[in-house]
Structure 1
């Protein structure tokens, strides 16, 4: 396999971002694009647009809520939706896995959590624990895995602006960072940080913060992680800030990983 390129993008409504996606993919024809927060029922997903761009696309979603998709130039050997523990199938639109020969791509949209005392925060913690159970039961750390998505966790202080003001935020609380670190310690390398250890690198800029992009007030909550056998072969991993400045953008932008596989 030659260079393998992958990107993750929280679209915040895939139908609202078709112009963004088309413009970006023309310039950046990645092998695999993982989307989160597609916010569309399966019967309304704009699959024909992806087809016209030369991509197979697989998806699960509900109207105005969550949703994940994987678009790929080459057809995968296998697609799996949700957790194998099968809890009501309600997480089918937050987790999907695609196998390309011996490489697994796992796409997750982790619950945001709302607030520390909200039931959704418990759901978020449970999601990570179930994901760790999935890894331990279905995979080995020497497998070739790339795990991407909106994890809704800023792992380090340098991953958020003014961390001292965010201690009790559901995406930065010490507890959720510890849980995320526990999952990563199963066998994942933060591929972006391998190439970019510097501060001020974000993937999300809140709509509600005035001139957030221009002032670079943001969060790094979208991630590309890989098992060591894949991470060792990463050529680059970078955040493309530009689409966040385009007309009618998502509040997130594209994170790209390049691997010499």
Structure 2
């Protein structure tokens, strides 16, 4: 079973690239972020035409998450996180797919920091940790995947100095991420690439892709039941170099059935 995550950065603008990736790699589950489409505009029929069923949580012009499943109907469990009733951002979607609990996550960026956007990011991470604990208590095989907007360690960025003031690298962001790992979740890519140097994002600006000035912010966190089945994990890096590509590359984890 292959579980993948792809911050598509606008599903309508990237639809050809997205379908191309799905058809060429056939992940069992594909979690999308930054769909940037209202619910009624989500192109579900495009995915059905190539064998994928979909659920989605949309929002006009920004945010938006979705879960696609190859030959399975995702059974929605939750959309959005509890804790802030006034928070209407479409950033979290959770479903059961073929015996695995999967969550598609688009964590707040938090810039500029310090300030209200960074405070919101930290509150959101604490709300996510609380939901993760509830999933943990159910003792189901689970994967929390998506764009976490956190660079966990210096080894996960091309230049720690260049990103030192960014919300993605602040000690509070890293601590919040580390607390989830300390709760028992396994960072699949880091586990199989302990030396780092694996990027999932390259900015459109300043020739970042051409110079390989990237960093790792797209993560795949596995519960113990799923981590025990871990076979491989990686980044489809070459997708970032294609025409009209997202600024993120897809990430994926392979687990035994």
Q: TM-score range by the shorter chain?
A: over 0.9
Q: In the TM superposition, what are the counterparts of 1:19-38 in structure 2 within 5 Å?
A: 19-38=16-35
Which residue of the partner structure matches residue 11 of structure 1?
8
* Partner residue of 1:75 out of 70, 73, 86: 73
Structure 1 residue runs of 5 or longer lacking an equivalent are: none
2:37, 2:58 within 8 Å by CA — same for their partners in 1? yes
Which residue of the partner structure matches residue 99 of structure 1?
96
Which residue of the partner structure matches residue 222 of structure 1?
218
Q: Does 1:257 align with 2:253?
A: yes
2:236, 2:251 within 8 Å by CA — same for their partners in 1? yes
Residue 23 of structure 1: CA displacement? 1.2
Count, aligned residues: 256
Structure-2 separation of matches of 1:100 and 1:116? 37
Residues 79, 29 of structure 1: alpha-carbon distance in 2 compared, 3 angstrom cutoff: same
Structure-2 separation of matches of 1:89 and 1:70? 21
Q: In the TM superposition, what are the counterparts of 1:35-114 in structure 2 within 5 Å?
A: 35-73=32-70, 74-85=72-83, 87-88=85-86, 90-91=88-89, 93-100=90-97, 102-114=99-111
Which residue of the partner structure matches residue 213 of structure 1?
209
Which secondary structure does the structure 2 equivalent of 1:252 belong to?
A: coil
Which secondary structure does the structure 1 equivalent of 2:202 belong to?
A: coil
Residue 98 of structure 1: CA displacement? 0.7
Structure 2 residue runs of 5 or longer lacking an equivalent are: none
1:189, 1:227 within 8 Å by CA — same for their partners in 2? yes
Aligned-residue RMSD, C-alpha: 1.6
